[in-house]
Amino acid sequence: MPHEDNGPLRLGRIAYLNVWPLYEALVPAFPEGPDIRYVPGHPSALNAALASGDIDAAPASAFAYLAKPEAFTLLPDLCIRAATGPIQSVLLLSPVPLAELPTHLARTGDPVLLSGASASSNALLKVLWRFAWKFPEVRFETVPPGTGLATGKPFVEIGDLALARFLDAPDGWHVTDLGQAWLEYAGTPFVFALWIVREGLAGKGLSGLRRMHERLLAINAALPRTLAELVGAPSRPDWIGPGALLAYLRVVNYDFDAAARASLIYFAEHCRELGLIPAVPGLRFAL
């Protein structure tokens, strides 16, 4: 919908624990009001809202930027990535061990189920399938998040649903952490999300974005000191204990540094080779 840049900054918020520490500190500093409005959603919903102009900025799928770089710019120095390899909340779950999966699929004719909540993770699986694991071509289908287990077919799960599966794996299922799989293949931590800004943001919205970016950088810099206390906050979801949450948040990292940028471009090169994107884009920044 049309949006005047003299209105509130419309900031997307991924409804997952992977950004919870940032928003726990950001929202009190920038409470919702005439200057900012928070719009929750899973990554693919925020991707669509950015593309339609319904929000101004969000941590959203890195693949969304790679696929349509002319429509977006980026906030510098921030992303959502694995600290090293394992991420715990982006998983492939399979009824057989990974090495046996091609034979299993050839016998059953089953597809591999992708997550309707994801863009980056689905593309990552396709890249790993071809280049890291060198598996034969397979049929992919997309299903709503949280529905894969009941099908009995291999499926991708992301976010808090995946983290719950990681912490308590279902009997008889084999779990592959796609962040760890990328590290083993590429040698770099995988970048799942970028802070994406719609093209053309100006005026009051851009000024608000600049202030918010400065605060986010300060929040991120303080996390090594504040994280242990934060996981005991009353707003922590009751389905995960403070110890498990702290362990999870320590494998998540928000630094879009040189290694992360190189990892993103390397991933983009593989996506281009698979025909998932037309070209490897440059990185354009809003600030």
In which residue are the tokens 């840049």 written? Answer: 5
**Domain final residue pick, 186, 202, 230:** 186
Mean pLDDT of 252-261: 98
Do 100 and 170 belong to one domain? Answer: yes
Range of the structural domain that residue 103 is part of: 90-186
Q: What is the pTM of this model?
A: 0.96
Distance CA 257, CA 46 (A): 23
Q: Name the more confident of 214 and 235.
A: 214
Mapped to the 3 state alphabet, what secondary structure does 69-94 carry?
A: HHHEEEEEEEEEEECCCCCCCEEEEE
| pLDDT, tens only, 104-153 | 999 999 999 999 999 999 999 999 999 999 999 999 999 999 999 999 99
Domains in the chain: how many in total?
Answer: 2
Q: Do 109 and 137 fall into the same domain?
A: yes
180 shares a domain with 201: no
- Residue 151: half-sphere exposure toward Cβ, Cα within 13 Å: 20
Q: What is the mean pLDDT of the segment spanning 40-48?
A: 92
Q: How far is CA 286 from CA 71, 115, 213, in A?
A: 12, 29, 11
Same domain, 110 and 155: yes
Residues 119, 66, single domain; the answer is no
Judged by average pLDDT, the poorest of 21-25, 42-46, 91-95 is: 42-46
Which residue has 């949006």 as its token pair? 3
Which residues are within 8 A (CB) of 134 and not within 5 positions of it... i.e. 6 or more apart?
none
What are 147-162's pLDDT values in tens digits?
Answer: 999 999 999 999 999 9
Note the pLDDT of residue 4: 53
pLDDT tens per residue across span 45-91: 999 999 999 999 999 999 999 999 999 999 999 999 999 989 999 99
CATH code of the domain containing 54: 3.40.190.10
> Where residue 1 falls among pLDDT bands split at 50, 70, 90?
very low
